[in-house]
Structure 1
């Protein structure tokens, strides 16, 4: 057989298995790459124009990585994991860095804007400096015009409202008699649609006075409250008082030092972190909540493991009949949504009408204050969370107990060991090692168990003397949430600083636990 006859033809080498020319598929790939980059760059520019610098930078980084992986042939395999990496950048790393960044500012409910936005807000404030006059908006061949009725002074019409409004070049009003071709006045709803554009125009009457839109049917001699007098300095046009930008407080302040809202965001360094550690009214509640959070997470793991292990051991007992029914009933709490169970328990523990207090009152003549006493409130939380968490540990222990050889227990019985000896010397040593990563995960989950605290106690009862909203049953995560969204000042920066400290603490504890359990990371 001729060896040359077995070689593929040139047409075959230039085609893909589906029959498309290789040059065409390459061109399609590059076209798709260009389209993706054009769309991504459009979004980046749009975010930059809206002054969303952080999001624009994020889009630029993700687009740059995607383009690098596409162009570099040696990174071909990494293309398949890029979606997961991009998702991690967008939904994990970026929010984390953004939160950390906010912790170094004074970002709050009173300091939401940038300095340029606050300055523009002050410069846009006006006051009424003269009479008000009725106006109407009319179409004309050259464009829409304003018709202003000044009563005895006459009726005036503006030039066509075309181009960009310029406060420095006001529109000169003309007598209505000199203007022809005005149509019927537009309806009020059409004026409302054009309100933002109409507010930008300034009109000058022949006598020299300036008119601006004042409401939906009137114009008036409106003057700006402030004028700019250098970078970061505003002057009140009525009194001559000066406002100066205070870059430490994030406010424009008057000559007496009084802040004039709204405020703007400024960099404060480690001030928020310092407040948490040095300010007594914040430090003491924070340390108390941190200690309770640590105890709550640890005790929950211990209690749920203990209950789950005991029940799993009982279900392994050969003398127990109807094991399938018992397994179903014991796992049933795991099938009910947690928020439903929590709300049910909130009703059961009601101090006045709850079934638990009614039962205790009939038996022992006592009605515990579950929601107003700190110790009882914490006990209630541990009881509820143990009920919610033990089915998970039960399932784990049932599976792991099956893997322990039965002959070990038989040999232990021959030696006269008690059930407690079996638990401590056989069962626990063989369960702890495979359970340790799951116990660490359970600890981390309960460390941030926001739903339980919010639905059951809402963090109460409150800690006396705290300047931030803090409760004796608050976890760090619910404490942070209350500072950010329930405090009157909405101190997002302080909440971000605490969230950063939570991340560092949980990360350090997780690494320590993994090292102690000798789990490879």
Structure 2
């Protein structure tokens, strides 16, 4: 009797290649651990957590004998988590924040941005020239109204070396004070080109130049200028006692040195804002803002803000109408054409099938761009024909109704071949005996079509029609290439067009907003789209009875 070796004998953890497996696993763990640390250090802790989770589970599955069978499905599950579940959860999370083009940073990043601001004080502005000598020695030459000052010889680090030194924590002092002296005669060093200033800009910007006259300090204000300026804001880490006697402790509290006022982050608006003597927020917000949780605010805006509510429901209704009409028109044309090309008495059926399937074979974006030219109001062939035959020139792109008709025409052309192919396959499953019995009863082709063909095709087609509805519900490419949502909806507070679908409306809010991209609102709408499409998917499962398998 022949003994068949078990699967574990070939791939078990105790085979001769165990050391190689563990070495590769250790290498993967180290590399991904480093990547996770780098992502966490850059503030992307969510992605760092995802990386650790996926890699840890993967290593456990591939290195544990008990989970051997799961090794074959883990890549698919991991892909679903990384590319479907995680983006969905991340989008839903953004929907509950004020994340937008004006609120991209964290509180710490916004604070550090403000701390880098400066304002000019008495002392004027000086023209700046970088002088280069031998052995990487430099001097700084400053001139103003005929006066010239020069610094002693300095050793400057280029941007790359200084950045590397900061990462390695080997940089002792980040600010260096240099005392200038009046220059008489010509400098010993020659002027360096502008690229030298650019290459050493980080170090130059950290220098404090002190004039011999009154000890005025100068800092770099541009590539060719040094000016007397001071930090606009100072961080008060220990808090401050307000004039009203209130002790205010806030680690992110800033003092405006120019206006002698205090400001602190407002968690309600996501911006730094000035405060009064009682610690209450007053005045305008100071950009840039930071990300804060806003709860259901984005969802309530959809339902209550007139500038969003009206366009949203208008676009939602049009999306449903567009998806429904697209399915009905493509189904009707595809089913009729499929019956015609299956007609045995029709000669050249193979040729007709090939020609009718061509719209499906050509990339959709090419067909859409061709139709965009055909429907051109002034030069398109369709308007030229209509003007010659009937004396009319429809405004396809500026009239909301005609723009929607144009979109349905183009989408029907793109979608009917798919329905035709489905119906051609399903028609072969209908027994010929039914048509023969119907013919004996005196029924004609039209009666056979509506009494036999349509009822027998609709049941297997129903799940596919729902899938087609869901696809058209998110048909972004058609709208983006053909009309880009135009014409616009008057009175909308966000970018919105009469031909926009919900998906293109969401895209425009996220990336084309004139007042700053509103990712939070766009994510809320995307969440609503997910719920609608998810409901359609469940309906599809119910109708196809896939949940009973």
TM over 0.5: yes
| Superposition deviation, residue 262 in structure 1 | 1.3
- Residue in structure 1 matched with residue 271 of structure 2 by the alignment: 251
- Residue in structure 2 matched with residue 3 of structure 1 by the alignment: none
Aligned residues: 500
d(CA) in 1 for partners of 2:269, 2:34: 36
Instruction: Say if 1:399 and 1:17 are closer, same or farther in 2 by CA, change over 3 A.
Output: closer
- Residue in structure 2 matched with residue 227 of structure 1 by the alignment: 234
Q: SS of 2:223's equivalent?
A: coil
| Superposition deviation, residue 86 in structure 1 | 2.0
Residues 118 and 232, structure 2, Cα contact 8 Å, conserved in 1: yes
Residues 158 and 171, structure 1, Cα contact 8 Å, conserved in 2: no
Q: SS of 2:22's equivalent?
A: helix
What are structure 1's unaligned runs of at least 5 residues?
A: 1-5, 8-15
1:213 aligned residue (194, 214, 220): 220
Structure with the higher fraction of residues in strand conformation: 2
Q: Does 1:334 align with 2:360?
A: yes
d(CA) in 2 for partners of 1:262, 1:149: 34
- Residue in structure 1 matched with residue 130 of structure 2 by the alignment: 136
| Superposition deviation, residue 289 in structure 1 | 0.9
d(CA) in 1 for partners of 2:401, 2:93: 37
**CA offsets, 1:296-351, max 9 Å, x none?**
11111111111111111111222211111111111121122211211222222222
- Residue in structure 1 matched with residue 36 of structure 2 by the alignment: 44
- Residue in structure 2 matched with residue 59 of structure 1 by the alignment: 51
d(CA) in 1 for partners of 2:391, 2:26: 78
- Residue in structure 2 matched with residue 502 of structure 1 by the alignment: 529
| CA root-mean-square deviation | 2.8
Residues 158 and 174, structure 1, Cα contact 8 Å, conserved in 2: no
What are structure 2's unaligned runs of at least 5 residues?
A: 4-8, 158-169, 240-250, 276-281
**CA offsets, 1:228-269, max 9 Å, x none?**
134232222122122221111111123542112111111111
Residues 129 and 191, structure 2, Cα contact 8 Å, conserved in 1: no
d(CA) in 2 for partners of 1:148, 1:58: 52
Q: SS of 1:366's equivalent?
A: coil
Instruction: Say if 1:222 and 1:145 are closer, same or farther in 2 by CA, change over 3 A.
Output: farther
| Superposition deviation, residue 79 in structure 1 | 1.5
Instruction: Say if 1:365 and 1:188 are closer, same or farther in 2 by CA, change over 3 A.
Output: closer
- Residue in structure 1 matched with residue 460 of structure 2 by the alignment: 434
| Superposition deviation, residue 190 in structure 1 | 2.3
Residues 118 and 231, structure 2, Cα contact 8 Å, conserved in 1: yes
**More displaced stretch, 49-58 vs 431-440:** 431-440
**More displaced stretch, 208-217 vs 189-198:** 208-217
| Superposition deviation, residue 494 in structure 1 | 0.7
d(CA) in 1 for partners of 2:449, 2:314: 35
Residues 453 and 473, structure 1, Cα contact 8 Å, conserved in 2: yes
Residues 433 and 517, structure 1, Cα contact 8 Å, conserved in 2: no
TM-score (structure 2 length as normaliser): 0.84
**CA offsets, 1:27-56, max 9 Å, x none?**
111111100000000100111111111211
| Superposition deviation, residue 170 in structure 1 | 4.0
**CA offsets, 1:6-33, max 9 Å, x none?**
99xxxxxxxx889xx9675111111111
2:312 aligned residue (271, 283, 286): 286
Q: Does 1:196 align with 2:223?
A: no
Q: SS of 2:395's equivalent?
A: coil
Alignment of 1:238-277 (within 5 A): 238-255=258-275, 256-277=282-303
**CA offsets, 1:341-376, max 9 Å, x none?**
112222222223322223223333333222222222
d(CA) in 1 for partners of 2:393, 2:149: 82
- Residue in structure 2 matched with residue 478 of structure 1 by the alignment: 504
Residues 157 and 176, structure 1, Cα contact 8 Å, conserved in 2: no
**More displaced stretch, 80-89 vs 358-367:** 358-367
| Superposition deviation, residue 165 in structure 1 | 6.5
Instruction: Say if 1:384 and 1:350 are closer, same or farther in 2 by CA, change over 3 A.
Output: same
**CA offsets, 1:351-402, max 9 Å, x none?**
2332222322333333322222222221211111111111111111111111
d(CA) in 1 for partners of 2:10, 2:77: 31
Instruction: Say if 1:217 and 1:461 are closer, same or farther in 2 by CA, change over 3 A.
Output: closer
Q: Does 1:324 align with 2:350?
A: yes
Residues 271 and 285, structure 2, Cα contact 8 Å, conserved in 1: yes
Residues 459 and 470, structure 1, Cα contact 8 Å, conserved in 2: yes
Instruction: Say if 1:203 and 1:158 are closer, same or farther in 2 by CA, change over 3 A.
Output: farther
| Superposition deviation, residue 479 in structure 1 | 0.7
d(CA) in 2 for partners of 1:145, 1:58: 48
Residues 470 and 536, structure 2, Cα contact 8 Å, conserved in 1: no
Q: SS of 1:431's equivalent?
A: helix
| Superposition deviation, residue 408 in structure 1 | 1.1
